[in-house]
Amino acid sequence: MSFAIAIDGPAAAGKGTISKAVAAHFGFAHLDTGLLYRAVGAKVLAGVDPLEAAETLTAEDLEEPGLRTADVAQAASRVAVIGEVRAALVDFQRAFARRAGGAVLDGRDIGTVICPDAEAKLFVTASAEVRAQRRFAELEARGDDTSFETVLADVKERDARDAGRAEAPMVAAEDAVRIDTSELSIEAAVAAAIAAVEEARA
């Protein structure tokens, strides 16, 4: 039996943390689709053609170190506007969504394009400042030499590009439950997400 949970939202909204916790709660598999675009972006930074990078992506590519840097995030957002790149990644994501035993996918277009028939859809947001603060703390903890202002500018630039592109723009599906995590602890955000999925399951 398959059960797909789509979790979309802007940069650093907490989708990763929430998705992992929701997947663990229900015993579902989890796919961070941003990692696919980050892996393609990293290859492009290394000189590979974007479409070739997307068409030849391997599981090992997703384990490359350095995919979480801000430079790779920007590269990901730039390759993500290319329709052929997105198309090359669709089948893998759809198959993952319909695997037996249930799946959680997080990204930008899961509830709208990849899995419009997902049984549960969430759109996780927070103010740009809160998201930048969280991402800044993450990057700093990893030893990245950056500033809050740089991270805020990165988050805003990616959001504008992701929401403004012609192909699969970032937008909440009409039937998505919105969760604003600006003033929520991780525990409260996870609880809200689990409650929304429980409601969809009922």
Chain residues that interact with ligand CDP, rule: CB under 6 A: 11-12, 33-34, 37-38, 73, 76-77, 80, 107-109, 158, 162
Task: Identify which of residues 175 and 199 has a Cβ nearer to ligand CDP in the complex.
Answer: 175
Residue 201 C-beta: closest distance to ligand CDP, Å:
23
Taking CA 16 as the corner, what is the angle to CA 57 and CA 26, rounded to the nearest 5 degrees?
A: 100
The whole-angstrom separation of Cα 177 and Cα 124 is 8
Q: Closest CB to ligand CDP among 26 and 109?
A: 109
Q: Which backbone phi and psi does 137 adopt, to 5 degrees?
A: -60, -40
Which C-beta is closer to ligand CDP: that of 30 or that of 108? 108
Of 24 and 90, the one with the shorter C-beta distance to ligand CDP is: 90
Q: How far is CA 76 from CA 43, 89, 181, 192, in A?
A: 10, 13, 24, 29
Closest separation in Å from C-beta 43 to ligand CDP: 14
Cα within 13 Å of Cα(24), Cβ side: 8
User: Smallest distance from the beta carbon of 169 to ligand CDP, in angstroms?
Assistant: 9
Which CB sits closer to ligand CDP, 43 or 108? 108
The whole-angstrom separation of Cα 12 and Cα 132 is: 7
Give the nearer residue to ligand CDP in terms of CB position, either 178 or 201. Answer: 178
Residue 4 CB, shortest distance to ligand CDP, in Å, is: 14
Asked if residues 196 and 177 have their Cβ atoms less than 8 Å apart, the reply is yes
Beta strands in the chain, from DSSP E residues, in sequence order: 4-8, 29-32, 103-107, 120-125, 177-180
Q: What tokens does 61 get? A: 């590519």
Torsions phi, psi of 177, nearest 5? -85, 125
Query: Whole-number minimum distance, CB 202 to ligand CDP, in Å?
Result: 27
CA distance 180 to 127: 8
Least distance (Å) between residue 123 CB and ligand CDP: 13
